[in-house]
Amino acid sequence: MNLEQQIEQLGQLAKAASRKLATATTPTKNRALTLAATRLREQQETLLTANFQDVELGKQNGLSSAMLDRLTLTPSRIDAMAKGLEIIAELPDPVGETLEMWRRPNGLEIGQVRVPLGVVGIIYESRPNVTADAAGLCLKSGNATILKGGSEAFRTNGAIVDALTAAVVGAGLPEASIQLVRSTDRQSVAFLLQQDRYVDVIIPRGGEELIRAVTQRSAIPVIQHFSGICHTFVDATADLEKAANICFNAKVQRPWVCNAMENLLVHQAVAQSFLSAFVPTLEKAGVEVRGCERTRKIAPQLKTANEEDWRTEYLDLILAVKVVDSLDEAIAFINTNGSGLADAIVSEDYSNVRRFLQEIDSATVYANASTRFTDGYEFGFGAEVGISTNRLHARGPMGLRELTTYKYIIQGNGQVRE
Amino acid sequence: MNLEQQIEQLGQLAKAASRKLATATTPTKNRALTLAATRLREQQETLLTANFQDVELGKQNGLSSAMLDRLTLTPSRIDAMAKGLEIIAELPDPVGETLEMWRRPNGLEIGQVRVPLGVVGIIYESRPNVTADAAGLCLKSGNATILKGGSEAFRTNGAIVDALTAAVVGAGLPEASIQLVRSTDRQSVAFLLQQDRYVDVIIPRGGEELIRAVTQRSAIPVIQHFSGICHTFVDATADLEKAANICFNAKVQRPWVCNAMENLLVHQAVAQSFLSAFVPTLEKAGVEVRGCERTRKIAPQLKTANEEDWRTEYLDLILAVKVVDSLDEAIAFINTNGSGLADAIVSEDYSNVRRFLQEIDSATVYANASTRFTDGYEFGFGAEVGISTNRLHARGPMGLRELTTYKYIIQGNGQVRE
């Protein structure tokens, strides 16, 4: 069997497994998850040995120390993976939820019921905890998973999936519920992306380059997570203390994540009072602030922010600041330059808040809170599958529900169409 | 401006228009729709003249009489288009519906609110009523539309869109709310499918070939409507009179539509009694019945159904019949050979019905009713945008709601992330 046939076989097996998983009971799925957690802990030595080999090879191949750190397993990281699975076991099962049910005049009863997507393909980069996490979330939501990890974690991912499949089989579920593409050939991804007969959705987890490459080549729908160019607009009536707290949090707490603020817009009426105090606060925290001309009149020490700055996701302690004349200008600026992920207004003006919330076309729009809350856990979903920048199917933070679709169940007693 | 630039400009204009449409009030959108209906009736002569030119050209180009019929406008067809828009005006507006709202422990209030998709591209074949229908449904759901009709209806579609945009402007909405690709160059479709910066979803309306071509070339998500290979399974305990009515309706009432039955499965326990009476009924109605070996023992006059028959969408008065040993065999057969659109069981056995409804992986699954009900109007949606065979975003009959997505609106009073 050549590589293409091997990948196709993974698809076939996954589809068959997904039929069983779709009707598996919640206790069965939970047992598989808790068994998997136990198994990961029991197999600690095996996992560490496999991981050691990957790390040694990574060193030889000149991986950066950051990449090596992300790749490295430790007993506590293995325990965290196991705990993650136990937490997923405790989450409510989304499958079977009746979304709506109604009766038609002809007596037909139509129910819209949540069902799994089917087969989910996950393509991800080095961090090996994604293996257990993604497989666990898919299992809980009744989906079969085909995992394709980075080649630098080849042995580690193999050992993790061995532990997971043993648990799945132990719980009486099909072995092919969780499968790994066991090839470091780059072609394997291309073949996987053509299995639209068997794979229902692809979720790439990694940088923008990976996502673009996957989207371009995929015959299967892709749930994308592109960049986050997030804004905060400090309105004329903002409580400036709240504004400073919110903006500081949005920029500084974790600058390398997608929901961190990249552009700060300030209404001209409060620009002087707000920025003269807040820019030094940012600078003290190590933030490089770049300003428009009007910002630089208030803080002349700043670098100039140019057109490119407004469209750059820094993922770093850098912030671009612009003074605007009005709410209208702020809304137009955000809808033009933003990435549609998370944007906030700080304002005490009721009508302005209302307009901002309605008119900003982003997955998550905030009034008087930090954009950093765009996160499945912070939303109360109990888990995070990712944060979608798609408009179709799932938008914003994705929990278990977003790994499902629905079907209609129609019950009658002999109805025919006139 | 070359063609590619023209198409990109349509995209830019549509995106800008979609921002206005997203916050347009329901009465404004309804006024545009009723004005459009009036305008179509007023412009009857203009429409008929443009259509006459298209039809004449079509005759010269050797269009089939069926295609010419689909292309031809008449006063009553124009009136039907206008009435269609008036009906859309009366439907509830899906935009702004709060799907869920909850409060987090930190006091943040998170609301999930229905919003338009944005810009919808519709690519369709000759029937010109799609122009008004699709544009009207998109307008009501707050979306801007870019229409690309078949070149054989070029002048007709142009005249219809002229009437629609005049109405849209008359209601105070942007002219670019509804735009037509006014080019018969085939490249225009390819360019449209690359406008993923501006166009949010593509809905092809037409045959399988069109849909496949569009899907293959599109950088934009496509809502597909592929074939319907629909089954009815007559179980051992079926009420055979109900079964005959349901099967007759599913096959004969409108055989050329996607929700018509193509394969009939009959439990061996009732095969003799059911088929010996029902096959002649079908034959009397002009249905060509093809049977498996066991079916042909009961009705030896039948042609043999081969492997290909089980996977063919006849869209015609042809039916393939198979005798099966069990519910398990029926379920496995349908999940393997069906297209996942609409499948039915006829049975009085509670547990079998329950298993069938749960285990058949189709968009619409029926107990004791005809598969012909898979239809937006029959489901009570008041409109039908199409019937999706996608699993993501929308599955099965699509109404106005399925032309929307959601966003999260988060209200706080200074919350920051710890």
| Neighbour tally for A345: CB within 10 Å | 30
- The distance in angstroms from the start CA to the end CA of chain A is 53
Quote the DSSP letter at residue B326.
-
pTM of this structure = 0.94
Give the per-residue SS3 of A348-398.
CCHHHHHHHHHHCCCCEEEEEECHHHCCCCCCCCCCCCEEECCCCCCCEEE
CB contact under 8 A, B414 and A245: yes
Give the nearest chain A residue to B101 (CA atoms): A379
Question: Identity (one letter) of the amino acid at A200?
Answer: D
CB contact under 8 A, B409 and A370: no
| Furthest C-alpha separation in chain A | 79
Question: Identity (one letter) of the amino acid at B14?
Answer: A
| Furthest C-alpha separation in chain B | 79
d(C-alpha A127, C-alpha A157), whole Å: 9
Contacts of A54 (CB under 8 A, 6+ apart): A71, A152, A153, A154, A155, A156
CB contact under 8 A, B367 and A410: yes
Contact A125, A208 (CB under 8 A): no
Q: What pLDDT score was predicted for residue B208?
A: 85
3-class SS of residue B261: strand
3-class SS of residue B96: coil
Give the per-residue SS3 of A145-201.
EEEECCHHHHHHHHHHHHHHHHHHHHCCCCHHHEEECCCCCCHHHHHHCCCCCCCCE
Q: List, as one string, the DSSP characters of A283-351.
A: HHTT-EEEE-HHHHHH-TTSEEP-HHHHT----SSEEEEEEES-HHHHHHHHHHHS-SSEEEEE-S-HH
List the structure tokens of B40.
Answer: 């179509």
Q: What pLDDT score was predicted for residue A227?
A: 81
Nearest beta carbon to residue A407 from set B363, B369, B415: B363
Residues from chain A that touch B388, judged by Cβ atoms under 8 A, are: none
Distance of CA B164 to the CA centre of its chain: 22
Give the nearest chain B residue to A394 (CA atoms): B393
Can you say whether the dihedral through the CA atoms of B290, B291, B293, B297 is positive or negative?
A: negative
| Neighbour tally for B2: CB within 10 Å | 9
d(C-alpha B212, C-alpha B204), whole Å: 9
Q: Which residue has the higher pLDDT, B227 or B201?
A: B201
List the structure tokens of A186.
Answer: 């780059």
For residue A290, the cross-strand partners are A303, A320
The A residues from 62 to 101 touching B (CB cutoff 8 Å) are none
Residues from chain B that touch A94, judged by Cβ atoms under 8 A, are: none
Beta strands A119-124 and A144-148 are parallel
CB contact under 8 A, B361 and A115: yes
d(C-alpha B146, C-alpha B142), whole Å: 13
Closest CA to B206 of B128, B147, B136, B126: B126
d(C-alpha B370, C-alpha B362), whole Å: 15
The B residues from 249 to 278 touching A (CB cutoff 8 Å) are 249-250, 253
List the structure tokens of B83.
Answer: 């009435």
Element (H, E) at A203: strand A201-205
For residue B231, the cross-strand partners are B263, B343
The A residues from 6 to 45 touching B (CB cutoff 8 Å) are 19, 22-23
Cα A180–Cα B224–Cα B158 angle in degrees, nearest 5: 145
Cβ–Cβ pairs < 8 A, chains A and B? 189
Q: What pLDDT digit, counting tens, does each position of B323-366 carry?
A: 999 999 999 999 999 999 999 999 999 999 999 999 999 999 99
3-class SS of residue B349: coil
For A194, phi and psi rounded to 5 degrees?
A: -100, 0
d(C-alpha B266, C-alpha B334), whole Å: 12
3-class SS of residue A133: helix
Contact B180, B151 (CB under 8 A): no
Interchain CB contact of A392 with B (< 8 Å): yes
Give me the helix-helix angle, B240-252 and B268-284, nearest 10°.
Answer: 50
CB contact under 8 A, B408 and A363: yes
CB contact under 8 A, B19 and A117: no
Name the band, by pLDDT with cuts 50, 70 and 90, for residue B383. confident
d(C-alpha A330, C-alpha A132), whole Å: 42
For chain B, what percent of residues have pLDDT higher than 90? 93
Cα B372–Cα B374–Cα B376 angle in degrees, nearest 5: 125
Interchain CB contact of A377 with B (< 8 Å): no
Nearest beta carbon to residue A410 from set B245, B366, B391: B366
CB contact under 8 A, B407 and A396: yes
CB contact under 8 A, B410 and A364: yes
The B residues from 341 to 360 touching A (CB cutoff 8 Å) are 353, 357-359
Contact A119, A143 (CB under 8 A): yes
Closest CA to B397 of B196, B225, B191: B225
- Average pLDDT of every residue of chain B: 96
Contact B97, B178 (CB under 8 A): no
Give the nearest chain B residue to A398 (CA atoms): B408
Residue B127 has pLDDT above 90, yes or no: no
List the structure tokens of B352.
Answer: 């079998």
Quote helix, strand, coil % in chain B, to nearest 5. Answer: 45, 20, 30
Nearest beta carbon to residue B368 from set A364, A396, A412: A412
Residues B210-220 have a mean pLDDT of: 90
Q: What pLDDT digit, counting tens, does each position of B258-289 carry?
A: 999 999 999 999 999 999 999 999 999 999 99
Contact B238, B348 (CB under 8 A): yes
d(C-alpha B259, C-alpha B251), whole Å: 9
Of B40-44, B48-52, B209-213, the one with minimum mean pLDDT is B209-213
CB-based burial, A377-416: b 16+ in 10 Å, e otherwise: ebbebebbbbbbbbbbbbbbbbbbbbbbbbbbbbbbebbb
| Neighbour tally for A42: CB within 10 Å | 13
Instruction: Chunk chain A into consecutive blocks of 10 residues (it has 418) and report each block's average pLDDT, rounded to whole numbers.
Output: 96 97 97 98 98 97 94 96 97 97 98 98 90 96 97 96 98 98 94 95 91 90 90 98 98 95 98 98 98 98 96 95 98 95 98 97 98 96 91 95 98 97
Q: Quickly tell me which residue has 């544009």 as its tokens.
A: B135
| Neighbour tally for B311: CB within 10 Å | 15
Measured between CA atoms, how close is B274 to chain A, in angstroms? Answer: 16
Quote helix, strand, coil % in chain A, to nearest 5. Answer: 45, 20, 30
Query: Which structural domains are found in chain A, ordered by start?
Result: 3-226+399-410 (3.40.605.10), 230-373 (3.40.309.10)
Cα–Cα distances (Å) from B369 to A111, B141, B253, B315, in that order, read 14, 31, 14, 20
Contact B335, A19 (CB under 8 A): yes
Q: What pLDDT score was predicted for residue B179?
A: 98
Give me the helix-helix angle, B129-140 and B26-42, nearest 10°.
Answer: 160
Contact B143, B173 (CB under 8 A): no
3-class SS of residue A144: strand
DSSP-H helix ranges across B93-153: 129-140
Q: What pLDDT score was predicted for residue B308?
A: 95
Contacts of A399 (CB under 8 A, 6+ apart): A376, A379, A381, A382, A383, A384, A385
List the structure tokens of B164.
Answer: 């629609």
Name the band, by pLDDT with cuts 50, 70 and 90, for residue B207. confident
The B residues from 166 to 205 touching A (CB cutoff 8 Å) are 200-201
List the structure tokens of B405.
Answer: 């997505």
Can you say whether the dihedral through the CA atoms of A385, A72, A32, A34 is positive or negative?
A: negative
Residue B183 has pLDDT above 80, yes or no: yes
Q: What pLDDT score was predicted for residue B309?
A: 96
Nearest beta carbon to residue A242 from set B378, B406, B414: B414
DSSP-H helix ranges across B373-412: none
Residues B378-385 have a mean pLDDT of: 92
| Neighbour tally for B61: CB within 10 Å | 10
